[in-house]
Structure 1
Amino acid sequence: MDNVLAARALMGISLGFHIIYATIGVGLPLMLMIAEGLSLRTGDDLYHRLARRWVRPAGLLFAIGAISGTVLSFELGLLWPRFMAFSGPLIGLPFSMEGFAFFTEAIFLALYIYGEKRLSRRMLFFCTIPITVAAAASAVFVISANAWMNTPAGFRIENGVLGDVQPFLALANPAWAHEAVHGTLAAYVATGFAMAGIYAWTLLRGHESDYSKRALTLSLAVATVSLPLMLISGDWAAMAVAVQQKPKLAAMEALFPTTRGAPLFIGGWPDPASGEVRYGIKIPKLLSVLAHRDPDALVEGLDAFPPGTAPDPRFVHPFFDLMVGSSFIMLAPAVWFWWLRWRRREVPLGKWPLRALLCASPFGMIALESGWLVTEFGRQPWIARGQMRVADGVTQQTGIGLVLLTFLIIYLALTAGLLKLLLRPAPIGAGGGTTQGGRHVDS
């Protein structure tokens, strides 16, 4: 395994695990804040106990995310030293701001966890606000660094030397806004559906408690509100990509020839040899409509770019379809649940609606991971688009393959340990339960 492939695989594995930890670490604080806010507004103590139950996984994921994020920062310097030497003055600001957001979240999370018996309910609620804002800010600043790799800005190259560095322009690069909004909403959707799936499973097992019903309703409410906003922001992002990253759009949609009135392909397998999409569903002119709001607009295909400068659609198009398809898979059971909820005026406990939610619950994370792969594969062969190729940024040190295997084992062990801690029963009184006859029960 050569250095480029090994380094990419190691970063891919590390980021793949970190994204899961970080996603839930961004989504859970919002649910904590809503639960505490509802507790204050309604005077219902069950919402407060729900929040106290959720703070345990939030704290664990915050810690695990910090560990995996620290590993990634070392990997950037060790695996990609040439890239970091070039980009450090430009993406150092968002990483520094992310560190500030991280410590802000840590302070208020500690106050919230250990202030249960020392702070009023109102103060506990106020603690959840900076936790939620800081968690989202961390995501936004990290996404800024990734967006800069897609649309580099805030510098000039003079005689082969980096100059006129403007860190704030680099932070607010052209792709930052739509990527940050879309990515943050995707975290809320993924977390909401994951939590809804857990409580749908609990209800299917016969634990029909008020606690499980409230938890399911609140989780799915967060996901359902965020999902259409995520789809709208995804449309905004696609229109921006059509202007800012034309090779990526061509690879996402597997468009080989430059076409006026370009069709959209749903599914199918791109065949670069023939320049066709096999087995896909072709919808005439829809790509031109979605990208430029004009059915006869010109969309540049992969043939418009020099060989070796555009991404491979065989990697990008399937993951793009998986991302979009996963989003619509989640939409159907959510609409069904809320329609039954409105019709019956109570939480629907039928097996089929709950099974549908359970089956849909992983698709938020699948959509998010697929979207990240579209972003990364869609930038190839560049590590900073138009400025530095992946092969030019990698380390020349050997032995990365062994490190790759070692870290794979570490991440699997870390995830197994996290799951063991998350599945361990909560202590009596640590959340949505009370004691009756020395036995812990949901209430």
Structure 2
Amino acid sequence: MLESALSLTAHAGEMPHAVQVLAEVEPAGLLPARMQMALSLGWHIVLACFGVAFPAMIFVMHLIGIRRNDEDALLLARKWAKVSAVLFAIGAVSGTVLSFEMGVLWPGLMATYGDVLGLPFAFEGLAFFVEAIFLGIYLYGWDRMPSRQHLMMVLPMALTGIVGTFCVIAVNAWMNAPVGFDLVDGQVTNIDPWAVLLNPDAFWQFLHMWVAAYMVAGFTLASVYAVGFLRGRGDRPHSLGFRVAFAFASVSAVLQPFVGHLLGGRLAETQPAKLAAFELATDTESPSPLRLGGVLVDGVVRWSVDIPYLGSLIARNSFTAPVEGLDSFPVEDRPPVNITHWAFQGMVGIGFLLMLAAVGFWAARWRGRDLLRHRWFLRLAAASGVLAVLAMEAGWIATEVGRQPWIVYEVMRTPEAAGENSGLWWLLGATTVVYAAMTIGAVIVLSSMARRWRAGEVDLPSPYGPEAQSRNRSSSPAADGSGR
């Protein structure tokens, strides 16, 4: 009823006071649900990137070690696998939190569309368990399995990481372009769960995220070795680790603008209001300029740099095709423009900076120059991991905020999906404490591992098992005859 009232008054250019009051009434659980989801997804997505990309990087490093009989490469693969295990364990906790959150935070969404979304979530859970099994086999298999058979244990990890990510992204793509059901008298009927997985938008959105995962994992790992170079640890393992990680990141950074362009090219038909916010297009213009920077203040764009024709070319693959302006949409159907615009431009700007850094490094190497000897490049490489994470987070902000006010585009508004449980603030506080503790714990564990590795320790002695029992017996007073 509220949505009908809003739509009836939108064309008049003003909203009666009674309707304004109704529009401002939001469920008590809406704001904490938004904040909780932003925290959980923003935190978990970083770990998910390593779950997707790290197995392939480990596979390549392990393969180098086997083919070249390279002890440094094998040692790096072993170390990377242990880091992957730590990140996987933490990601398991945050992923489990997310699984419960969908129903707790958004009861209206799951009560209505749970049957539509059940299949991809089930496949994602299955992929997660299979990945955990093969990660355990790979970790335990060092020095216990034939080398090539051991190497093959990485492939199921990489495959299940891709499958799980695709399933989750398919759900998000469905929220942007819902399919696979009919809505009859407010009831969801004729459900086709496979349509969610086969949603045409799912492939492009997954591809964009998949490439982003390699950028995050590759640049973050490369940044660790760049810091090592800055601190004087320029040995061969650091050089090899940097080059392999940076190679993955470089390929991804070069591909990402093209993938992003293909994905963005669909917005004019699927989500024109989001595209208008991306481009800061207040009015429909033909041709449309590309606006760099700028802020929308009282309906007027200020402090932007406009490049003629380029907006139409990038958004519509044409020099003259218009970008539909925000004035084409009712006020209540427009996304938060400034946040969406700046998040989008932040993602694109950082992405191009990382692409230029990658191209510059390999071009210099092809010409016989090693930029790892230049501190200015090492500083940029050391910051590349944080920059890649910021670009990915900005991309997700642009995607999710740009879809507002819809949680399911043009089908269900976000307030309709939230509940009246004001106690969610307590859940948000508890989740913040848990995530902060996990972050501190991860930093402590990974820093401890790094210190031991720098000291020459590869494996820590186990605190239990036959070797530990043997050590305990040899160190006891009775063992040296001094006991009574």
Which range, TM-score by smaller chain? over 0.9
Contact 1:49 1:432 in 2 (8 A): no
Against the structure 1 CA distance between its residues 432 and 128, is the aligned structure 2 distance closer, same or farther, given a 3 Å change threshold? farther
Contact 1:39 1:48 in 2 (8 A): yes
Matches of 2:106 and 2:380 in 1, distance apart? Answer: 43
- Check if 1:279 corresponds to 2:303: yes
Contact 1:46 1:432 in 2 (8 A): no
Matches of 2:29 and 2:76 in 1, distance apart? Answer: 48
Matches of 1:233 and 1:374 in 2, distance apart? Answer: 16
Aligned to 2:333: 309
Matches within 5 A, 1:228-377: 228-271=254-297, 273-274=298-299, 276-344=300-368, 348-377=372-401
Aligned to 1:412: 436
Larger Rg: 2
**85-94 or 346-355, which moves further after superposition?**
346-355
Aligned letter for 2:29? N
Matches of 1:200 and 1:341 in 2, distance apart? Answer: 16
Could you list the per-position Cα deviations for residues 330-353 of structure 1 after superposition, in whole angstroms to 9, with x for gaps in the alignment? 123222322332233657322122
Of the three residues 147, 154, 165, the one matched with 1:128 is 154
Aligned letter for 1:180? F
Aligned letter for 2:123? M
Contact 1:91 1:171 in 2 (8 A): no
- Check if 1:424 corresponds to 2:409: no
Of the three residues 117, 138, 141, the one matched with 2:167 is 141
The structure whose RCO (Cα within 8 Å, separation 6+) is larger is 1
Contact 1:330 1:361 in 2 (8 A): no
Matches of 2:380 and 2:160 in 1, distance apart? Answer: 33
Could you list the per-position Cα deviations for residues 212-265 of structure 1 after superposition, in whole angstroms to 9, with x for gaps in the alignment? 000000010000011111111100011012221111111111111112211111
Contact 1:336 1:353 in 2 (8 A): no
Aligned to 2:132: 106
Contact 2:253 2:358 in 1 (8 A): no
Matches of 1:210 and 1:19 in 2, distance apart? Answer: 32
Identity within the alignment, %: 38
Matches within 5 A, 1:157-196: 157-196=183-222
Aligned letter for 1:164? N
How far residue 360 of structure 1 moved from its aligned partner, in angstroms, is 2.6
Gapped regions of structure 2 (runs ≥ 5): 1-26, 459-484
User: What SS is found at the alignment partner of 2:403?
Assistant: coil
After TM superposition, the score normalised by the length of structure 1 is 0.94
Against the structure 1 CA distance between its residues 25 and 392, is the aligned structure 2 distance closer, same or farther, given a 3 Å change threshold? same
After TM superposition, the score normalised by the length of structure 2 is 0.86
How far residue 144 of structure 1 moved from its aligned partner, in angstroms, is 0.7
Contact 2:55 2:154 in 1 (8 A): yes
Contact 1:26 1:187 in 2 (8 A): yes
How far residue 44 of structure 1 moved from its aligned partner, in angstroms, is 1.6
RMSD: 1.8
User: What SS is found at the alignment partner of 1:354?
Assistant: helix
Contact 2:293 2:304 in 1 (8 A): yes
Matches of 1:244 and 1:374 in 2, distance apart? Answer: 15
Against the structure 1 CA distance between its residues 190 and 427, is the aligned structure 2 distance closer, same or farther, given a 3 Å change threshold? closer
Contact 2:371 2:377 in 1 (8 A): no
Matches of 1:25 and 1:238 in 2, distance apart? Answer: 26
Aligned to 1:379: 403
Aligned letter for 1:31? M
